């Protein structure tokens, strides 16, 4: 199914937390719209994250067996939200879906998708340490790539590099 | 009949009368020890060079080419000198006395086993009616050294190597010994010199494998068990390079490590020599028979021919061991045990049964 | 399956137990604790700097915990501070064994945001280079896997062919390992004269050698014994963990991005019947074991030859790079493009705000995702098997850590 069909099916099934579909559009000078390039994605409420993913996995026409990626983006230093993106892939129907949800920076908490897909476990660990997002219900919230005593969340736009680490200068 | 030590005899001819008897014995022993050490060193040096050349050519490359000029013949000597000059490292968590003792035990056992190997009909370091027994016993003692090395290194990875070695050697001692019963029945003697003598018919081709057809499967079983005893691939789990870095030898460096290395090649040579003596005719080939017919048994040339024959056959066995190592992957420890207990042991027992029947019916 | 609620540290065995009657039972005999061994970061078999904390009971592994991050070089953070084209050499360096495919993934992701026409000759050259790189990468996987199992010789033979591929790449772009050849808009250099002929010659020679490799290692009885029925990843587990590439096809799932979600001209090549997708059938043991995964990789090498040969026939003259400005300003937007890396799906998620520098450049590495099965696969196997399993996952630590 292409993106339109997937989105229509999601709406028909009453997918929990589905907000809207965001598709690329050409720039429109009349409406002062700079346009957006790239690929389409759906936006979802963070509170219904797990239910949405479960529907995507279990619905026979959607059939997204694989969770390809869970990642986060910090769009701007003064943006109040972080984006959490998930990529799903269906092997049986050969289609993809990109999902985005917005998580506020003052309270970056979202439910962990580990219960739905085991693949989320390591991806969420990396997200947590890089962006400071807490994934509730994650079975093993250790640092993934950073040392256990690292301070700060490096991928945030307002991250300040430390001056030194254990006596080693980081200049 | 009283057999005299060859060296002892030579010493008597060479030494003046006023030298006391015990001094001659001591001198003979020391010369014998020196000769064994020399043999081990030569065998080790040559085998290491051979291994590097054989592995190189199997892997489509040359191996050593520079050291010494012609195909890097002096490479091992250069490596040996380097190893002698290395720092003597003993890990902090190591059990120091055992750590130092282990390579000595391992190399000492192999020295003892090689001392029982005769080089020709008249050149042996001591007449042993049970020469084979001595060789088997001494070569099994190396296991003590290996396990000691693994334990005393104070490293968990070395411990794995030691545990695997103990299990593997115990498993393969059984088919090792049982498969040897077949040529023992055929040739009728434990002594290596007499075993060669028993294969001296048919113009030097009355080898044990031609005397009794059950010697052929016994040869295969014995050779496989020998590969396992000497920890050579495909049974090189105790020193599995890609798993345990170097297994029980991980913490050893410099001259201590070279002891283990020399022991490995000396043991390979020893096993091949035993195979050659008991299955493949020992000193006997048509050339030996011709030399004996023309010049007589005790002539120096015949003795030399015997020695060269045995060494050539032994090095051929060493070459086959190397060939197998660079071709086959490694077997896992539980598969090693399965093979030893479930396949090789019953097979070797069947060979013994068959050989016994053959001997009874046809001889 | 073991209890998957992993805590932060490995717990030791208990020394006293409570019986159903309520009494406490004490172990009066010799207490044997499990041995905690540290495999890595320096270890010949972990394919890079990776640390696996293994708890063993003798030779039996009872717990495993991988620790990553030894090769973390902040690629994603760097993506947010350098210009679009300047990021290309960084893409070479995560999965350094298949750098062409990394370049390709990144370029396709950025091109999805731009509207640039890629000339056909560029696409052909891209496909040839990506598939040759796939062969080279699988050769290393095959050779080093043999080395892990204990077969020293196939490694040298595999590297002999890989040297040839590397010299081919050196002729076209000047580098042997980290190419930066496939760029945004096309490729940066045209093929020198005689290059395509040499590739045709390579294909013929490699086809003969491939048969030797198959018989020498894959069909070797000892190799089969070491890898069959070891590290079985059933279909449901493969889906649950998000495995892709040879790990997925080794578990019997017939899915390949080149055929099912085609990018570049793979759809055209598939329709022309130039290649097939090898899917494991559990020939030598359970479906989804190490032998199946290795088999998939080895047969994929052969199929890549088919793609290369098709491209050699169909390639025509023309420009090799599209119309792109010297300083690239990518229009605002976001896109995710996933391609079939030799190890699985390599995904690039790029976000642009219209400037010269990316807002986000996320790299979804297949080795990272595939490695997650280790915690579940290793317990219950022997130590020698854990080496076999880690080798069959075919990780490159540059990609696990980025």
Question: What region, left, alpha or beta, does residue B34 occupy, with left being phi > 0 and alpha being psi -120 to 50 degrees?
Answer: alpha
Please check whether residues C314 and C346 belong to one and the same domain: yes
Domain of residue B93: give its range.
6-59+74-362
C347 confidence band (pLDDT: 50, 70, 90): very high
Please check whether residues C363 and C390 belong to one and the same domain: yes
Instruction: Inform me whether the C-beta atom of residue C121 falls under 8 Å from chain B C-beta atoms.
Output: no
CB-CB: which of B163, B240, B334 is closest to C382?
Answer: B334
Domains of chain A by residue range: 3-25+37-169
Give the bridge partners for C182, in sequence order. C187
Q: Which residues of C touch B332 (CB under 8 A)?
A: 225-226, 382, 384-385
H helices of chain A, where?
A: 3-12, 49-58, 120-131
**C236 vs C248: CA distance, rounded Å:** 10
pLDDT at C171: 93
User: B61: distance to nearest CA of chain C, Å?
Assistant: 9
Asked if residue C167 has pLDDT above 60, the reply is yes
User: C288: distance to nearest CA of chain B, Å?
Assistant: 20
Contact predicate A155/A131, CB 8 Å: yes
Contact predicate A99/A114, CB 8 Å: no
C6 confidence band (pLDDT: 50, 70, 90): very low
Instruction: Inform me whether the C-beta atom of residue A40 falls under 8 Å from chain C C-beta atoms.
Output: no
- Whether B69 is in a domain gets the answer no
- Whether C222 is in a domain gets the answer yes
Instruction: Inform me whether the C-beta atom of residue C45 falls under 8 Å from chain B C-beta atoms.
Output: yes
- Whether C1 is in a domain gets the answer no
- Whether B239 is in a domain gets the answer yes
- Whether C11 is in a domain gets the answer no
Contact A139 C4 (CB under 8 A): yes
Q: How far is CA C175 from CA C60, C157, C171, C255, C396, in A?
A: 44, 22, 8, 32, 20
**B293 vs B308: CA distance, rounded Å:** 18
What would the pLDDT profile of C25-37 be if each residue is shown by its tens digit?
544 444 556 666 7
Q: Which residues of C155-186 are buried (b: 16+ CB within 10 A; e: fewer)?
A: bbbbbebbebbbebbeebbeeeebbbbbbbbb
Contact B245 C43 (CB under 8 A): yes
Strand, helix or coil for residue C387? helix
What would the pLDDT profile of A40-92 be if each residue is shown by its tens digit?
899 998 888 899 999 888 888 888 999 999 999 998 888 888 999 999 999 99
Contact B330 C151 (CB under 8 A): yes
The structure tokens listed for B238 are 């105790």
Contact predicate C397/C22, CB 8 Å: no
pLDDT at C110: 92
Phi, psi of A95 (to 5 degrees): -140, 165
User: C373: distance to nearest CA of chain A, Å?
Assistant: 9
**C344 vs A68: CA distance, rounded Å:** 11
- Whether B311 is in a domain gets the answer yes
Instruction: Inform me whether the C-beta atom of residue A45 falls under 8 Å from chain C C-beta atoms.
Output: no
Give mean pLDDT, residues A137-163. 85
Of C67, C83, C99, the residue at which a domain comes to its end is: C67
Contact A98 C336 (CB under 8 A): yes
CA angle B16, B20, B23 (to 5 degrees): 100
Phi, psi of A13 (to 5 degrees): -80, 0
Q: Is the peptide bond before B61 cis (omega within 30 degrees of 0)?
A: no
pLDDT at B65: 84
Rg (CA), chain B: 21
Q: Which residues of C66-94 are buried (b: 16+ CB within 10 A; e: fewer)?
A: bbbbbbbebbbeebbebebbebbebbbbb
User: C131: distance to nearest CA of chain A, Å?
Assistant: 22
Domain of residue C24: give its range.
16-67
CA angle B283, B284, B289 (to 5 degrees): 125
Name the DSSP letter for residue C191.
P
Quick one: which of C255, C246, C251, C247 has its CA closest to C234? C251
The mean pLDDT of chain C is 85
Contact predicate C286/C229, CB 8 Å: yes
Instruction: Evaluate whether chains B and A are touching (3 or more beta carbon pairs less than 8 Å apart).
Output: no
* Neighbors of chain C with 3 or more C-beta pairs under 8 Å: A, B
**C253 vs C238: CA distance, rounded Å:** 9
What would the pLDDT profile of A89-113 be if each residue is shown by its tens digit?
999 999 999 999 999 988 889 999 9
CATH class of the domain comprising A3-25+37-169: alpha beta
Q: Strand locations in C28-174, DSSP E?
A: 35-39, 51-57, 60-67
Instruction: Inform me whether the C-beta atom of residue A1 falls under 8 Å from chain C C-beta atoms.
Output: no
Please check whether residues C185 and C222 belong to one and the same domain: yes
* Mutate which: C55, C219, C220, C383, vs B, most B CBs within 10 A: C383
Below-70 pLDDT ranges, chain B: 1-19, 21, 233, 238-246
Give the bridge partners for A22, in sequence order. A41
- Whether B65 is in a domain gets the answer no
Closest residue in A to C353 (Cα–Cα): A75
How far apart are the two ends of chain C, measured CA to CA in Å? Answer: 30
Q: Strand locations in C157-259, DSSP E?
A: 182-183, 186-187
Asked if residue A13 has pLDDT above 90, the reply is no
- Whether B64 is in a domain gets the answer no
Long-range contacts of the stretch C28-34 (C-beta < 8 A, 24+)? C32/C57, C34/C62, C34/C63
CATH (domain of C341) = 1.10.645.10
């Amino acid at each position: 199914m292409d993106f339109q069909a997937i989105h229509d099916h999601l709406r028909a099934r009453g997918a929990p937390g589905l907000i809207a579909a965001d598709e690329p559009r050409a720039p429109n000078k009349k409406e002062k719209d700079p346009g957006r390039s790239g690929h389409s994605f759906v936006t979802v409420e963070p509170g219904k994250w797990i239910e949405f993913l479960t529907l995507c996995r279990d619905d026979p026409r959607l059939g997204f067996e694989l969770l390809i990626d869970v990642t986060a983006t910090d769009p701007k230093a003064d943006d109040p939200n972080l984006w959490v993106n998930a990529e799903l892939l269906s092997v049986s129907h050969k289609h993809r879906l990109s999902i985005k949800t917005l998580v506020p920076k003052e309270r970056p908490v979202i439910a962990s998708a580990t219960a739905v897909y085991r693949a989320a476990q390591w991806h969420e660990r990396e997200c947590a340490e890089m962006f400071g997002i807490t994934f509730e219900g994650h079975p093993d919230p250790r640092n993934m790539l950073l040392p256990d005593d690292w301070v700060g969340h490096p991928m945030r736009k307002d991250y300040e590099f430390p001056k030194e680490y254990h006596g080693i200068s980081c200049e | 009949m009283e057999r005299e030590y060859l060296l002892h005899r030579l010493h008597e001819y060479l030494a003046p009368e006023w030298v006391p008897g015990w001094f001659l014995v001591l001198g003979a022993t020391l010369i014998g020890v020196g000769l064994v050490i020399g043999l081990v060193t030569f065998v080790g040096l040559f085998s290491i060079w051979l291994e590097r050349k054989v592995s190189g050519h199997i892997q489509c490359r040359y191996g050593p080419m520079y050291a010494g000029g012609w195909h890097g013949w002096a490479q091992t000597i250069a490596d040996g000198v380097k190893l002698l000059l290395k720092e003597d490292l003993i890990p902090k968590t190591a059990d120091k006395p055992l750590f130092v003792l282990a390579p000595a035990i391992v190399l000492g056992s192999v020295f003892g086993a090689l001392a029982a190997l005769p080089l020709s009909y008249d050149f042996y370091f001591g007449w042993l009616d049970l020469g084979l027994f001595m060789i088997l016993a001494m070569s099994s003692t190396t296991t003590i050294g290996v396990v000691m090395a693994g334990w005393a290194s104070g490293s968990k990875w070395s411990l794995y190597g030691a545990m695997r070695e103990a299990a593997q050697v115990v498993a393969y001692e059984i088919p090792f010994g049982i498969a040897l019963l077949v040529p023992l029945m055929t040739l009728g003697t434990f002594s290596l010199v007499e075993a060669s003598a028993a294969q001296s018919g048919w113009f030097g081709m009355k080898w044990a494998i031609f005397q009794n057809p059950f010697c052929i499967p016994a040869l295969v079983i014995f050779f496989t068990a020998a590969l396992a005893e000497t920890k050579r691939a495909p049974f090189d789990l105790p020193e599995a390079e890609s798993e345990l870095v170097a297994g029980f030898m991980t913490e050893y460096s410099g001259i201590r490590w070279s002891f283990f290395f020399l022991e490995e090649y000396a043991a390979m040579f020893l096993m091949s020599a035993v195979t050659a003596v008991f299955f493949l005719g020992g000193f006997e080939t048509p050339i030996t028979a011709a030399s004996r017919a023309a010049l007589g048994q005790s002539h120096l040339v015949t003795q030399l021919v015997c020695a060269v024959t045995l060494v050539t056959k032994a090095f051929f066995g060493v070459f086959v061991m190397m060939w197998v190592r660079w071709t086959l992957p490694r077997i896992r420890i539980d598969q090693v045990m399965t093979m030893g207990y479930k396949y090789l042991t019953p097979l070797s027992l069947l060979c013994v049964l068959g050989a016994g029947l053959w001997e009874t019916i046809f001889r | 399956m073991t209890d998957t609620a992993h805590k932060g540290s490995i717990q030791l065995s208990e020394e006293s137990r409570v019986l159903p009657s309520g009494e406490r039972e004490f172990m009066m005999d010799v207490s044997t604790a499990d041995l905690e061994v540290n495999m890595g970061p320096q270890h010949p078999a972990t394919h890079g700097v990776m640390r696996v904390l293994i708890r063993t009971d003798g030779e039996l592994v009872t717990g495993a915990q991988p620790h990553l991050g030894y090769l973390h070089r902040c690629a994603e953070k760097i993506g947010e501070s350098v210009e679009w084209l300047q990021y290309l050499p960084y893409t070479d360096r995560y999965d350094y064994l298949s750098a062409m495919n990394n370049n390709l993934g990144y370029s396709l992701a950025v091109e999805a945001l731009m509207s640039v026409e890629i000339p056909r000759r560029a696409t052909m050259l891209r496909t040839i280079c990506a598939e040759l790189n796939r062969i080279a990468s699988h050769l290393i996987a095959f050779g080093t896997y043999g080395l892990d199992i204990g077969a020293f010789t196939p490694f040298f033979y595999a590297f002999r062919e890989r040297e040839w591929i590397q010299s081919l790449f050196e002729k076209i772009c000047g580098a042997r390992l980290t190419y930066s050849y496939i760029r945004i808009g096309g490729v940066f250099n045209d093929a020198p004269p005689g290059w395509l002929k040499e590739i045709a010659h390579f294909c013929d020679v490699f086809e003969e050698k491939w048969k030797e490799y198959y018989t020498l290692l894959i069909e070797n009885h000892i190799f089969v014994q070491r890898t069959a029925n070891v590290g079985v990843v059933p279909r449901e587990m493969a889906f649950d963990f998000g495995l892709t590439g040879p790990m997925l096809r080794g578990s019997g799932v017939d899915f390949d991005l080149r055929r099912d979600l085609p990018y570049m001209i793979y759809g055209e090549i598939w329709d022309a019947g130039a290649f097939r997708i090898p899917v494991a059938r559990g020939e030598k043991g359970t479906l989804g074991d190490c032998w199946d995964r290795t088999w998939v990789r080895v047969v994929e090498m052969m199929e890549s030859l088919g793609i290369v040969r098709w491209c050699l026939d169909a390639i025509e003259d023309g420009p090799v790079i599209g119309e792109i400005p010297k300083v690239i300003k990518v229009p605002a937007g976001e896109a995710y493009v996933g391609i079939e890396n030799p190890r699985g799906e390599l995904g690039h998620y790029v976000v642009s705000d219209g400037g010269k520098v990316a807002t986000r450049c996320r790299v979804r590495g297949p080795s990272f995702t595939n490695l997650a099965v280790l915690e579940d696969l290793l317990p219950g196997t022997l130590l020698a098997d854990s080496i076999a399993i880690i080798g069959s996952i075919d990780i490159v630590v540059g990609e696990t850590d980025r």
